[in-house]
Amino acid sequence: MSDGLTRRDALNRVARGTVLLGFGGTAAFLIEKADGQVVWQVDASRCVNSRLGEVGVPVCTLCTTECVVQQSAVRAVNNFRECGRCYICPAYYNIKSAVDEKGLPSEKLCPRDAIERQPIGMVDPGDPANNFYEYIIDDEKCDGCGICVKGCKEPLGLGSIILKVRHNLCVDCNHCAISLACPKEALVRQPVADALEPTLATHSTR
């Protein structure tokens, strides 16, 4: 064994020190501009189904098909504060379907029947058209296909239903598979507080 520091040992030490310094500097640089926790979220002002100004585009279902989780972590969310509580909701009903004897469209839009419609407030038992209705989307049934989102988009509706990543379901991939496929780059990384806020298509997150 050595009787002191061999040359190789000394060189090694210097090299180690240099590398450590390099690591330290890089790490400090990275940490300085670091974020806290970031998560993936859908930017409603870019998402095809909710972005304003495009009428007549077909529904984009990439959020459903691309997510690595079996039933996509993206779900439709109704921002109740912004909902019109209309008697005939263009996201709930297929307004192009035939009108039944009650004056309501006969078909519903959601292929998984995930939206529930309930009268709220002071309910008029005599005339159903005289009530406000709450439209609640069941998180367990919804798979983020976006059909109702398109139905709610302005000008047809008020744009209160948008697609959002649900973080109790999202596995938080390093690079979201949906973001790879999204034609409008609508999947963005956001700090947790921003990601949880309900946003409208009129509020760009850029």
**Interface with another protein in residues 18-37 (CB under 8 A):** 19-20, 23, 26-27, 29-31, 33-37
Nearest approach, Cβ of 51 to another protein (angstroms)? 6
**In 144-161, which positions are buried (b, 16+ CB within 10 angstroms) versus exposed (e)?**
bbbbbbbbbbeeebbbbb
Residue recorded with tokens 């004897």: 101
Rounded to the nearest 5°, which phi and psi values hold at 181?
Answer: -90, -25
Work out which of 2, 3, 56, 125 binds another protein, going by CB under 8 A: 56
By CB under 8 A, tell whether 204 contacts another protein: yes
DSSP letter assigned to residue 103: S
Work out which of 10, 21, 25, 97 binds another protein, going by CB under 8 A: 97
Nearest approach, Cβ of 200 to another protein (angstroms)? 9
Contact 183, 59 (CB under 8 A): no
Using CB under 8 A, which residues numbered 122 to 181 contact another protein?
Answer: 122-124, 129-130, 132, 134, 136, 139, 154-160, 166-175, 180
Contact 50, 158 (CB under 8 A): no
Nearest approach, Cβ of 153 to another protein (angstroms)? 9
Give, in degrees to the nearest 5, the angle at Cα 203 between 62 and 93. Answer: 55
Which amino acid is residue 192, in one-letter code? V
Specify the stretch interacting with another protein by CB under 8 A; choose among 64-72, 109-117, 141-149: 64-72
Nearest approach, Cβ of 106 to another protein (angstroms)? 10
Residue recorded with tokens 């296909």: 145
Specify the stretch interacting with another protein by CB under 8 A; choose among 8-16, 58-66, 109-117, 140-148: 8-16
Joined tokens for residue 10: 């000394």
By CB under 8 A, tell whether 202 contacts another protein: yes
Which amino acid is residue 64, in one-letter code? T
Nearest approach, Cβ of 111 to another protein (angstroms)? 19
